[in-house]
Structure formats: structure tokens, C-alpha cells
Chains A and B, each alone.
Chain A
Amino acid sequence: MNGLTGNDVIHQYLRHNKKFPHVLCPGCGHGIVLGTLIRSIHALSIPKDDIVVVAGIGCSGRLAVYVDFNTVHTTHGRALTFATGIKMANPKLKVIALMGDGDALSIGGNHLIHAARRNIGVTALVLNNSIYGMTGGQSSPATPEGATTMTNPYGQLDKAFDTVELARGAGANYVARGTVFHVKKLEKIMIEALGRPGFSLVEAITPCHTQYGRKNKFKTPVDMYQWLKKSAIDVERYEELADDKREGRLPIGVFFRRDRNGYEERYYAMKEALTGKGAKGGRK
């Protein structure tokens, strides 16, 4: 792969026995997230065989099918449970749980908070498109208040989860948000997340024009990228804004870093202590 740049690099990581172009709609941001993930792994020179991508179900989950890493396409909402098992069995692997907002925050919401609380050494990549894309555009817990969806034709009454605050409150080591328009920043975030101990959560804001955009005054997929371009702001600058200036702005960047040992590290240290020399009641 030496000397290759750009998409020539990406092409080295795709499974060319799968059908391309991939199944996603024109302009779907999920493809950009996949490219960014591949570039991050490439930049870190991690061998393909040391990566495990564990995906849930949804358009986002489909991504795992196309990449030449160890991949598991699990069940809806359960990516983090499989990821936890894999990391515990072989802590040397880099385990990435790839989930949609519905996958991670509704059906898998409980797994998300407890994986964060345990601080298991997994990178959770949440592809937030504000909607259940695959099943036809039902509201998700990330659908903004007031947005129109198939299940909320008169506007969503609930407030959306703030994924970042949720993960921070639950105990994750590292929490960041990026967008598929600000790809270089997203790549930097992913590179950092993949190199850190404990539970990292990266939220990628990614347009779904087919199921969300069309119902919310975005005429084309391109309009959604223009919206990302306009609304995103570095979190450091966002925090300096007065409350009334924050309306409609999307803070991106790294929100939180902490260095607590991952669950697997604590577990193997305990095992060592109990089974090693002099441990009382130690089992062999």
C-alpha cells in the first residue's frame, strides 16, 4: 500500500467480492464515515487482522459487510455486547462497535450506558442521522424536537438525546463528535479514539436525505451537507457563545478525556492478583 493516496488507499481495504457500489442511497453520509474509519486505521498502521468491526442492524450496520477487517454483523442494538465479549476474550484486538442512532440509543441504549459505565476498551462509533433509516424513517431518540418524520407527521414532541452528555454522564473515558462534512477533524478524532484506553464514544453526524432530509425541508442531499457546513462549530468556540447564539449550532470536537483503565485491564489485573503468587483463595 506504500505510496498510495486518497481513495486508492480505501480501495485496498474493501472486500471486492461484494457488490459495489454499496447499497446506501446517493449522498448517504454513512459511506463517508466508513472511508474516514479506514483512513484512521491506515494512519495508525494497524494490521487488518487486529481490527474487529462489530456492527448492529441498520443502514449503518451494513457498512461492516464491505470492509476487509474481522467483522461481525450482529443483531439490532447488541453490537456493544458482542464487542464486550470479543475485547474480554482477546484484549489485544482493536474493537470498534458501529451503530446507528436507533441502534445505539433506543434498543441498545441500556448496553451503551453500561458499556460506558464499565469503561470497556471499545471504540463506539455512533452514526447519528436523526432517524431510523433502514426501516422507513421512524423517529429515533436522536430525532430533534419539532422535526417531521413518518411516525411524527406533526412534529416530534420529545427532546433528542444528547449522545455526548449521555456517554459522559455514564462514565466513558473519551467522548467526541464530528460530522461527515468536517472529515479531517473527524479523522483526527477517530485516530485519537482508537489509541485510547477504556470506552471511547465518537458520534458522527451523517445525513440521511431519503428518510429524514426530504421531510425536513432539505431539497437535496447536498443541502444537508451545506447545513452541516453552516451549523457546526468547534466546541471550544461554542462554549464562549451566549445562550441565544447557540440556537441551531452543532458543537463538534473532543468533549471529554479521562484515563481510567479499561474494564478488561482491571479484570486481568484482578485475575493476576488472585491467581498469582501469594493471593489468598487464588484459583489456578
Chain B
Amino acid sequence: MAHQKKGKSTVTVYPDWCKGCGICAEFCPSKVFEIGEHGKATVVREKDCIHCGFCELHCPDFAIVVRDKSPVAEMEDTAPDKPGAKKGA
């Protein structure tokens, strides 16, 4: 889990559970979060996440989940032709 290469994880904040305390935004080593205009943590740099685990361990409200990307999602991310870019569709 810990310390993977960047871009291999998805980071999700459940806004209903987030109270905007700012712990994740302050301490994430990759600055993945910002506190948005509604006072909730927002994922702004998911690609920089190194899956260190800090935010999940320290969110007092269990509002963040970091998961390994599924192999399919990873392939889609690196594929030269993303489905949306198909010609003549």
C-alpha cells in the first residue's frame, strides 16, 4: 500500500462526512487536497497521491478513502486513445 508511484491511487472524500477541519490539506505530502468554498476537503491533485496513508489515518471523520486503481482504470489512464477521443464516433 504505502509509498507507491504517483498516479496509481484514487482519492475520494465523502462530502457528507467531511467537516472541513483541514488536517488532510495541511499534512498531505503531495498537497492532494484543498478546502473548497463550501468548507469541505476537495481532491485537486489526485494524480500526485503516493498512497502514503496519512489522510485516511488522520481524518477524524473517516471521510477519505484512498484505493489502488483497478488495473483497467490504470490502462485507460495510460492508453493513447481514450474512448472519448475516438474519431468519427
Contact = CB atoms under 8 A, between A and B. Distances in A.
Contact of A32 (B18, B60, B66): B60
B58 A32 contact: yes
A14 B22 CA distance: 23
Contacts of A226: 26
A183 B57 CA distance: 7
B73 to A, nearest CB: 16
Contacts of B53: 6
Interface residues of B, number: 24
B1 A5 contact: yes
Which among B18, B56, B64, B66 has the greatest number of chain A C-beta atoms within 10 A? B56
Contact of B19 (A5, A27, A36): A27
Instruction: Give chain B's interface secondary structure class.
Output: loop
Contact of B60 (A5, A20, A30, A220): A30
Interface in A25-58: 25-32, 35-36
A27 B22 contact: yes
B22 A7 contact: no
A25 to B, nearest CB: 8
Contact of B26 (A7, A183, A225): A225
Interface string B50-89: 0001001111111111110000000000000000000000
Interface in A143-195: 180-181, 183-184
A16 B56 CA distance: 19
Contact of B23 (A7, A27, A35, A184): A27
A180 B53 CA distance: 14
A220 B22 contact: yes
Given A221-B23, A225-B23, A31 B57 contact: no
A221 B27 CA distance: 13
The 3 closest A-B pairs by CB, nearest first: A31-B60, A27-B21, A26-B19
Interface of B: 1, 16-23, 26-27, 53, 56-67
